[in-house]
Chains A and B, each alone.
Chain A
Amino acid sequence: MKPINPNRRHEMARGASLMLLFLMAILALSFFRAQVIRGSSWSLQSDSNRLRVLSVPAPRGTVFDRFGRIVADNVPSYSVALFPASVDSIAASLVRLAPILNLSDERIEALLESFRMSRQRPLFVKMNAPFEEIVALEELRAEFPGIFLEMRPRRRYVGGEALGHVMGYVGEVSMAELESLEFAGYEQGMIVGKDGLERQYEDGLQGVNGVRFVEVDAVGRIVGSFEGQAASSALPGTDLHLNLDLELMHFIHRIFPTSMRGAVVALDVETGGVLALYSAPSFDPNDFVGGIDRAIWDALNTDPANPLFNRAVVGRYPPASTWKLASAAIALELGVVSPNERMPVPCTGSYRFQNVVRRCWNANGHGSLDMAGAIAHSCNVYFYQLGVRIGLERLVREGNRLGFTERCGVDLPRESAGEFPDGLDWWERRFGARPYENEVLSLVIGQGPNSQTPLKMAQFYLALARDGSAPAPRLSRPAEGEEPEIAWTLNLSPASLATLRDGLRQVTEVGGTAFYSTLEHWDLIGKTGTAQGGVEQESPHAWFTGMAGPWGGEPEIVIVVIVEEVGEGQGGSSVSAPIAAKAADFHLRRKYGMETTEIQTLREHLEAGVPAPWARWQPRGQIPEGG
């Protein structure tokens, strides 16, 4: 390039200089505004003061039941925190705070440990401090530099013990959780869902913490809030609307026999929504808020009844006779039997197949039965023959299709999957050999390698109560217009379904095992079951799996009850069926605007001497004698 003309150079140099001076002037003016005019509110009240950033905890979302009643909400509470400082000075502060806040040496150690993990963050010494402690600290404030008291929302479980297992509880986020990916972005001192719905819907319920800035003096006392940076307010968590019925939960909690263990699951037939999900014994989640008391925690953990164990979705029990409906449905689906067909071998108390003799529970035999009758009498011999017709392979395959090896997909953490062979190689993996065909004799009557959660059995009976389709049970209410997702479907004709329900109805008719649990206004049908067999089990578990609705109408509520180790002479008919009947009555009466009463089942009427003119003492059809 030719040398540039000096005039042109001069012109360009002037242009560049002007631009440079313009940019430098922008910088100078910015600093002038910040430092001299101090018009920007960035300056602190005193130059030795410092700025601290504090969280404004977001209130967790409120939880409502299906009628809009509050299940869990928030109330104000105070917490005590320390500004970050050197570990030594934090330790010294903690020791001096100990007598006022009743801090144990262990707790101080744990607090110091958590402070070492995040030294830039305020350390929360005590959440939900009682009012007296707050007052005491306020008075001694000058002696405790670096301390600040903060009002935070505190979780309150209106449902209390009745909803312990469903709601779960909240607690301070643990060190292990902070390191996990799931809790990325969480900070020490935050309150998170630990179990139940609180855990399941943590993301939505949590909300977004706000931020505020405070100015502290040289020794760490708050002298005022900082105006320079607008505080961002907390975004409350999203509210959660449940299918659950709070009053039904309270009712079940009240009527479930104290000192007994078990579970109750009630589903809404129309949507598959969970109306009630109860596990006994329960716990009060309010005890966990703000750190559970050591004594209560130890008591919960050492209680042999294991109150923290959610029997409804984590507990698994041999389904026993309640599973016979699954066998019957599978047989009808496959077309190996017609509803009115009687099995060739009448029940004489036992059945021989491939040199194996299997007994019926009734040694006297049931005689010749059709399917409804076999269900009504729970006749093993009928079902043995049904099992042989289905065949082991097909029974296992269909059992898998109906989800007996899977979770139902309820919106709760830690649901157990059912235990059921996932194929014929299941026996090979477990016992190293192909199964004998006679394994089908156990499986078809709900015995053998089969144990299911009460929730899973409820889902199966839900399909029987509907048109054969089974949605995944859900605790949270889906958005408006959202159809429940169908997990699987029984391909049964209305006539076949009617046969199965007919069998269930005979159970609650005169002569049936659950006759004394019948109700005045509602058609309660169902199956009792007696689960024998666990090694550590002292006496059988009692099942009742059924459904109820208005007389002459479709079922509207599916209800499953299991009571563990009911004791000799007790069973599904005497313990579980009445609970199911009372819960169904309570639900349906309120649904139809009727008054609820304490005397509900036929047995209660008889015992209380209240006339029950509605009782159907006449058998509808010919039912052979039996138990």
Chain B
Amino acid sequence: MTDLHQWVRDPPLFALALSLSLFGVAMIYSAGVLNVPSPIVQGAWVRQFVWLLISLVAFFVITRIESRWIEWAAIPIFVMAVIFLAATFAVGTGAGTAAGTRSWLQIGPMRFQPAELAKLAGILGLAKLLASRESPPGSLRDIVAPAALVAVPLGLVVLQPDLGTALAFVGILFAALFWAGTPLLVLCLLASPGVALILSFDTRVWSIYFLLLIAALYLVRYRVYLVESVVVILANLAAGTIAAPAWASLAQYQKNRLLVFLDPGMDPRGAGWNLIQSKVAIGSGGLFGKGFTEGTQKRFNFLPEQHTDFIFSVVGEELGFFGVMVAITLFAALLLRLVRLAERSADPFAGIVLFGIFGAWLVHIFVNVGMTIGIVPITGIPLPFVSYGGTFLLTCWVLVAVAARVAREE
């Protein structure tokens, strides 16, 4: 038992991550079983398996590193990630299902997405910054620095454009601030402009929200500085008014993805078609599914990006509600394990790192699974451990390793 602890640091975390990874390889294999085979999708599971082996090696290497080294490396990693992200604009290439964006860097035979490295860098950088504070952030002014730190990679990722990863950064920021002890009220104020942005598509709804916000600020007037209230109101006002130009600046495919969330019939041959087919595949899976590799919607190539972003539709069709629940339970257990590890860590740096990882994965899982069933807009975000993608799997495992390492440094 001690040996196992020695090797994998936290056996439950390792076991959950490994189960999900193997489940992913299996599902990628199934995604390649088509009536009209596609050579790329067919061999994907082998490549994913090789990447899993590479990831495990990385895991064992990183778990040997001392925790304080990881803490020390936070700033250099952050700087490097930002440089790589910026480099994608000059020398970036597209790849695979994301051929339209320039989010990949090619170094020799290796190709990787700096956005993945940036997630790790953002988590470590935030933890370092927040842990170095004397006391928990208590006001909006206290979270300007951490928000600015995340804004740099987030902004670069948005420009790529990669909305999915950008959402992950939002998750990281909020989760890290939460564990750093930021009052919920401050987090709500921080989130309010985002809410305003979403609600501004209907002026009446936005107006009501805005009045409620002012009323709420009045109620909490003794706990918030006047300047902060003014800033929050201005930010909400700005979010409400820039919504229209911001919307206009989105690429058509991004607009369509948001619009088909409201009405899949709007673009029934493009983004809406993906959603409709995904829902039909999942719905036809029933309680126990059509059986592993037997999904008919998948087999006839009706599912889009079935080995990457929409792999959960294959899970739904072939393994049914039963399989879906197993997968969701595994994910929930993984995330709960991170929470448990944070709870046990007295060290603020370790806790914030663990929560940063928690925030990133929670966004990935909820948005990816949610979009296949149509409760979240389609954002092109992969499912941790399960979606096909070498660097993505590697990043997930690096995060597992970091989590396991910092958690056990009591």
Q: Measured between alpha carbons, how far is A620 from B370 in the docked complex, in Å?
A: 91
Say yes or no: A27 contacts B370, CB within 8 Å.
yes
Say yes or no: A1 contacts B134, CB within 8 Å.
yes
Say yes or no: B342 contacts A9, CB within 8 Å.
yes
- Tell me, yes or no, whether B19 is within 8 Å of chain A by CB: no
Most buried by B among A35, A36, A48, A211: A35
- Tell me, yes or no, whether A100 is within 8 Å of chain B by CB: no
Instruction: Scan B264-292; emit 1 where CB is below 8 A from any A CB, else 0.
Output: 11001100010011011011111100100
Q: Measured between alpha carbons, how far is A601 from B225 in the docked complex, in Å?
A: 95
A24-B331, A51-B276 given as contacts; is B373 within 8 A of A1 (CB)? no
Residues of A within 8 A of B321 (CB): 31-32, 35-36
Q: Measured between alpha carbons, how far is A12 from B183 in the docked complex, in Å?
A: 11
Q: Residue on A with the closest CB to B35?
A: A86
Please report which residues of chain A, range 1-58, place their CB below 8 angstroms from some CB of chain B when the two chains form the complex.
Answer: 1-4, 6, 8-10, 12-13, 16-17, 20-21, 23-24, 26-28, 30-32, 34-36, 38, 40, 42-44, 47-48, 50-51, 53
Say yes or no: B332 contacts A6, CB within 8 Å.
no
- Tell me, yes or no, whether A228 is within 8 Å of chain B by CB: yes
Say yes or no: A232 contacts B343, CB within 8 Å.
no
A44 contact from B284, B324, B370, B373, Cβ within 8 A: B284
Q: Measured between alpha carbons, how far is A231 from B268 in the docked complex, in Å?
A: 10
A27 contact from B132, B328, B339, B345, Cβ within 8 A: B328
Flag the segment in B95-103, B241-249, B347-355 that touches A: B347-355
A24 contact from B135, B320, B332, B358, Cβ within 8 A: B332
Residues of B within 8 A of A4 (CB): 181, 346, 348, 351
B279 contact from A13, A21, A34, Cβ within 8 A: A34
Say yes or no: B343 contacts A53, CB within 8 Å.
no
- Tell me, yes or no, whether B362 is within 8 Å of chain A by CB: yes
Say yes or no: B283 contacts A40, CB within 8 Å.
yes
A1-B131, A1-B132, A1-B134 given as contacts; is B332 within 8 A of A31 (CB)? no
- Tell me, yes or no, whether A135 is within 8 Å of chain B by CB: no
Say yes or no: B277 contacts A51, CB within 8 Å.
yes
Instruction: Scan B294-337; emit 1 where CB is below 8 A from any A CB, else 0.
Output: 00110010100000000000001000110011001001100110
Shortest distance in angstroms between A510's beta carbon and chain B's nearest beta carbon?
70
Q: Measured between alpha carbons, how far is A615 from B368 in the docked complex, in Å?
A: 89
A44-B280, A44-B284 given as contacts; is B346 within 8 A of A21 (CB)? no
Say yes or no: A12 contacts B178, CB within 8 Å.
yes
Most buried by B among A8, A21, A23, A34: A34
Q: Measured between alpha carbons, how far is A51 from B175 in the docked complex, in Å?
A: 41
Residues of B within 8 A of A140 (CB): none
Say yes or no: B297 contacts A50, CB within 8 Å.
yes
- Tell me, yes or no, whether A229 is within 8 Å of chain B by CB: yes
- Tell me, yes or no, whether A363 is within 8 Å of chain B by CB: no
- Tell me, yes or no, whether B340 is within 8 Å of chain A by CB: yes
Say yes or no: A35 contacts B181, CB within 8 Å.
no
- Tell me, yes or no, whether B36 is within 8 Å of chain A by CB: yes
- Tell me, yes or no, whether B173 is within 8 Å of chain A by CB: no
Q: Residue on B with the closest CB to A86?
A: B36
Say yes or no: B373 contacts A16, CB within 8 Å.
no
Contact count band on B: 35 or more
Shortest distance in angstroms between B274's beta carbon and chain A's nearest beta carbon?
12
- Tell me, yes or no, whether B366 is within 8 Å of chain A by CB: yes
Please report which residues of chain B, range 177-230, place their CB below 8 angstroms from some CB of chain A when the two chains form the complex.
Answer: 178-181
Say yes or no: B287 contacts A36, CB within 8 Å.
yes
- Tell me, yes or no, whether A230 is within 8 Å of chain B by CB: yes
- Tell me, yes or no, whether B130 is within 8 Å of chain A by CB: yes
- Tell me, yes or no, whether B94 is within 8 Å of chain A by CB: no
Instruction: Scan A118-141; emit 1 where CB is below 8 A from any B CB, else 0.
Output: 001000000000000000000000
Residues of B within 8 A of A20 (CB): 332, 335-336, 339, 358, 362
Q: Report the count of interface residues on A (CB-CB < 8 A).
A: 44
Please report which residues of chain A, range 64-104, place their CB below 8 angstroms from some CB of chain B when the two chains form the complex.
Answer: 86
Say yes or no: A30 contacts B284, CB within 8 Å.
no
A1 contact from B136, B336, B340, Cβ within 8 A: B136
Residues of B within 8 A of A44 (CB): 280, 283-284
- Tell me, yes or no, whether B250 is within 8 Å of chain A by CB: no
Q: Measured between alpha carbons, how far is A1 from B286 in the docked complex, in Å?
A: 51
- Tell me, yes or no, whether B369 is within 8 Å of chain A by CB: yes
- Tell me, yes or no, whether B158 is within 8 Å of chain A by CB: no
Q: Measured between alpha carbons, how far is A20 from B369 in the docked complex, in Å?
A: 14
Shortest distance in angstroms between B154's beta carbon and chain A's nearest beta carbon?
21
Q: Residue on A with the closest CB to B336?
A: A17
- Tell me, yes or no, whether B46 is within 8 Å of chain A by CB: no
B362 contact from A1, A23, A35, A43, Cβ within 8 A: A23
A12 contact from B179, B366, B375, Cβ within 8 A: B179
Q: Measured between alpha carbons, how far is A71 from B309 in the docked complex, in Å?
A: 52
Say yes or no: B347 contacts A3, CB within 8 Å.
yes
Say yes or no: A34 contacts B283, CB within 8 Å.
yes
Say yes or no: B283 contacts A6, CB within 8 Å.
no
Q: Measured between alpha carbons, how far is A294 from B190 in the docked complex, in Å?
A: 70
Say yes or no: B351 contacts A34, CB within 8 Å.
no
Residues of A within 8 A of B282 (CB): 31, 34-35, 42
A35-B285, A232-B265 given as contacts; is B280 within 8 A of A42 (CB)? yes
A12-B179, A228-B280 given as contacts; is B348 within 8 A of A50 (CB)? no
Please report which residues of chain B, range 140-160, place their CB below 8 angstroms from some CB of chain A when the two chains form the complex.
Answer: none
Say yes or no: B328 contacts A28, CB within 8 Å.
yes
Say yes or no: A13 contacts B339, CB within 8 Å.
yes
Q: Measured between alpha carbons, how far is A2 from B339 in the docked complex, in Å?
A: 19
A42 contact from B283, B362, B369, Cβ within 8 A: B283
Please report which residues of chain B, range 6-60, place their CB below 8 angstroms from some CB of chain A when the two chains form the complex.
Answer: 36
Say yes or no: A1 contacts B358, CB within 8 Å.
no
Say yes or no: B279 contacts A27, CB within 8 Å.
no
Say yes or no: B290 contacts A16, CB within 8 Å.
no
Residues of A within 8 A of B130 (CB): 1
Say yes or no: B277 contacts A1, CB within 8 Å.
no
A229 contact from B132, B265, B269, Cβ within 8 A: B265
Say yes or no: B284 contacts A47, CB within 8 Å.
yes
Residues of B within 8 A of A228 (CB): 276, 279-280, 283
Say yes or no: A6 contacts B346, CB within 8 Å.
yes
Say yes or no: B302 contacts A21, CB within 8 Å.
no
Residues of B within 8 A of A21 (CB): 332
Q: Residue on B with the closest CB to A46?
A: B284
A12-B178, A17-B336 given as contacts; is B328 within 8 A of A24 (CB)? yes
Say yes or no: B343 contacts A1, CB within 8 Å.
no
Say yes or no: A26 contacts B375, CB within 8 Å.
yes
Say yes or no: B348 contacts A1, CB within 8 Å.
yes
Residues of A within 8 A of B347 (CB): 3
Residues of B within 8 A of A31 (CB): 282, 316, 321, 324-325, 328, 373
Q: Measured between alpha carbons, how far is A40 from B279 in the docked complex, in Å?
A: 10
Instruction: Scan A224-253; emit 1 where CB is below 8 A from any B CB, else 0.
Output: 000011111000000000000000000000
A30 contact from B302, B331, B340, B375, Cβ within 8 A: B375
Residues of B within 8 A of A26 (CB): 370, 375
Say yes or no: B264 contacts A229, CB within 8 Å.
yes
Residues of B within 8 A of A213 (CB): 268, 276
Given contacts A3-B348, A30-B373, A31-B316, 16 further A-B contacts (CB under 8 A): A1-B133, A20-B335, A21-B332, A27-B370, A27-B375, A30-B370, A32-B321, A35-B316, A42-B280, A42-B283, A43-B280, A44-B283, A47-B286, A211-B268, A229-B276, A230-B265
A-B contact list, 21 entries, CB within 8 Å: A1-B131, A1-B136, A3-B347, A4-B181, A12-B181, A13-B342, A16-B179, A16-B339, A16-B355, A20-B339, A20-B358, A20-B362, A23-B362, A27-B373, A31-B325, A42-B283, A43-B283, A47-B286, A50-B296, A51-B280, A53-B273
Shortest Cβ-Cβ A-B pairs, 6 listed: A42-B283, A13-B343, A3-B346, A35-B321, A1-B348, A43-B283
